[in-house]
Structure 1
Amino acid sequence: MTAHTALLACSQGQSVKIPRAHRRILSTVTGLVVAALFSLLVILNLLPLIWGMLTSLKGEPDLFRFPPVIFDFTPTLENYQRVIDSGFLGNMRASLVYCVVTVVAALTLALPAAYAFDRFNFPLRQPLFLLIVASIPLSLGAAALLIPNYLYFTKLGLTNAWFTLPLIYTAHQLPMAIWIMKGTLEGIPKELDEAAIADGATHFEVLRHIILPLSRPALGAAGVLTFVGSWNEFVASSVMVDSPGLRPIQPAIYNFIGFFGREWGPLTASAMLAIIPILITFALLGRLIVSGLTKGSVKG
């Protein structure tokens, strides 16, 4: 079929059958374009990581060479040694404790809350859930709430304690966790609850023995996102605690941005150490984000 014939058929509302060879070529071209775009996206995301890793291995003379060198330098671990000597590993340990406590608290509260919003009818149910959805940006960190939080926590004597940041992190991450869990519960048939209750089970037993096993992918997705959001939080962690033993990892990285300029070697070395838990988390549990977020997309 010529191009003129195909256009004439389309103008007359007739269907045009594309030859199999042309469909194969079109499919190949589409695949190549998608692969090229994906490769470009991967390169753009990996370039800062590779540059930071190479910079962290440079000594001070190589850091300030002009023009900058990429591979033509002598690798050294002195920047990592300096970061470790500054107590950075203690900051990592504190951040891990904060994040684990936050994940446990957020998931423990999110599952029953989502169950109540999905399975029960009570006054102001819809407005309350809309309020929770509107609070999801808190998971990105709410700088606007920093001053009120600091005033309230100071008045209550809750600042500069081991539970200060987990309380704030849990409040920030809980709306997102509830939203993820409710989306999954919408895909779990209510007939399972009704059958269990007819057999004499309580709502707590339904939540524990039916809802919990079926919502594990969503729990994993919410847990991963909660961990990453808490690990990367900077504003509240830099103000609410000032004890060196309680300082989390993000303010510790910022300490290498000195008054007289950035210490690029230790700064990039500390950043490379800081992303290790994130990489491990996504390597082990990253697939749960997709399965957990899409499990509630199909009901029944």
Structure 2
Amino acid sequence: MGDTSSHRIGGRRHVVRIVIVLAAAVVALINIAPVLWGVATSVRPAAEIFAFPPSFLPGDLTGEHYAQVLSGSFTRNLANSLIYSTVATVAAVLLGAIAAYAFDRFRFPMRRPLFGVIVACIPLSMGAAVLVIPNYLYFAALGLLDTPVILPLLYLGYNLPMAVWILKGAMEGIPTELDEAAKIDGASRLRTFRSVILPLCKPSLAAASMFVFIGAWNEFVAGSVMVNTSAYRPVQVAVYQFISAFGRQWGPLTASAVLALVPILLLVVFFGRYLVAGLMRGAVKG
């Protein structure tokens, strides 16, 4: 009787695993299918894009759409996004680490409410369209509209709360005894922070860096409103330029989207493990 019951339980678990795997495969297919279709469209000749019935695999391959995209200002816009996102990432991780250390190791008035405000601002990293008008008026008063500094500042402000939250969670897992031992050895607060705390937070630093970079790279609304000069546009706005009142240029549109996706794919492929490790160590705990 016991063997039969164990066999039934084992069989149910096996069925549950199969269902979970199939569900994950369906979700993955739903998410990746548009990307694969876009890649296929980007290498189709213009005459095949509107062929009916459509086929997933292109008949003839062409690089004409990529050539058209790269012959314009798209390369400059791609470089702009790399610079904007990198500057915002470095600044957010540096300031976020300092703020997280202060919130975790120091006791000062309004510490908990202030950290609660930071946590409440985390949704900014997932889109802050509601702040476009106030930000526009504020930066217009400062004379920073349509300049190369406005987008890194906005990206920093949008994504800094996420960096602080992740890094504070990581620092909570570092025993304060290490700070005390470093103090006994004559290390200052700054030396302890630089030589003890930060090396132990490397996975979370990488996770925060990836979150900030991806959030900055994918931002569209601020880039389309705050910048008008083509030389200062980010890549996401440059992709949108292939959609006009006269129709969509599907070949160049998908080619530019694929080019804009490549840096993020490379980032996830080579550093994705740090993202998972950092979240498990920092953000989940926090």
Same fold (TM over 0.5): yes
Look up the equivalent residue of 1:201 and give its one-letter code. A
1:217-269 CA-to-partner distances (Å, cap 9, x unmatched) read 00000000100000000011112122211111011001000111111111111
Separation (CA, whole Å) in 2 of partners of 1:187 and 1:123: 23
Between stretches 28-37 and 54-63, larger displacement belongs to 28-37
Q: Which of residues 199, 202, 212 in structure 1 aligns to 2:188? A: 202
Q: What corresponds to 1:113 in structure 2?
A: 99
Look up the equivalent residue of 1:67 and give its one-letter code. P
DSSP 3-state at the match of 1:71: coil
Q: What corresponds to 1:124 in structure 2?
A: 110
Separation (CA, whole Å) in 2 of partners of 1:66 and 1:20: 55
Q: Which of residues 153, 157, 179 in structure 2 aligns to 1:167? A: 153
Separation (CA, whole Å) in 2 of partners of 1:153 and 1:298: 37
Aligned length: 285
Separation (CA, whole Å) in 2 of partners of 1:17 and 1:156: 76
What's the TM-score, normalizing by structure 1?
Answer: 0.91
Aligned pair 1:256/2:237, yes or no?
no
How far off its partner does 1:160 sit?
2.1
Look up the equivalent residue of 2:119 and give its one-letter code. V
- Mind listing any 5+ residue stretches in structure 2 that lack a counterpart? none
CA RMSD of aligned residues (A): 1.6
Q: How does 1:1-300 map to 2 (within 5 A)?
A: 1=1, 19-71=5-57, 73-296=59-282
Query: Which consecutive aligned stretches of 4+ in structure 1 deviate over 6 angstroms post-superposition?
Result: none
Q: What corresponds to 1:4 in structure 2?
A: none
Look up the equivalent residue of 2:191 and give its one-letter code. E
Between stretches 101-110 and 194-203, larger displacement belongs to 194-203
Look up the equivalent residue of 1:117 and give its one-letter code. F
Answer yes or no: is the 8 Å Cα contact 2:41–2:58 preserved in 1.
no
Answer yes or no: is the 8 Å Cα contact 2:40–2:58 preserved in 1.
no
- Mind listing any 5+ residue stretches in structure 1 that lack a counterpart? 2-15
Answer yes or no: is the 8 Å Cα contact 1:62–1:69 preserved in 2.
no
Between stretches 116-125 and 80-89, larger displacement belongs to 80-89
Percent of aligned positions with the same letter in both sequences?
Answer: 48
Separation (CA, whole Å) in 2 of partners of 1:93 and 1:109: 24
Look up the equivalent residue of 1:53 and give its one-letter code. V
Separation (CA, whole Å) in 2 of partners of 1:80 and 1:59: 11
Separation (CA, whole Å) in 2 of partners of 1:150 and 1:22: 63
How far off its partner does 1:72 sit?
5.3
1:271-294 CA-to-partner distances (Å, cap 9, x unmatched) read 011100000000111111111111
1:27-47 CA-to-partner distances (Å, cap 9, x unmatched) read 332222222112112211110
Look up the equivalent residue of 1:294 and give its one-letter code. M
Separation (CA, whole Å) in 1 of partners of 2:106 and 2:278: 23
1:169-217 CA-to-partner distances (Å, cap 9, x unmatched) read 0000000000000011111111111221233221111100110000010
Separation (CA, whole Å) in 2 of partners of 1:280 and 1:225: 14
What's the TM-score, normalizing by structure 2?
Answer: 0.95
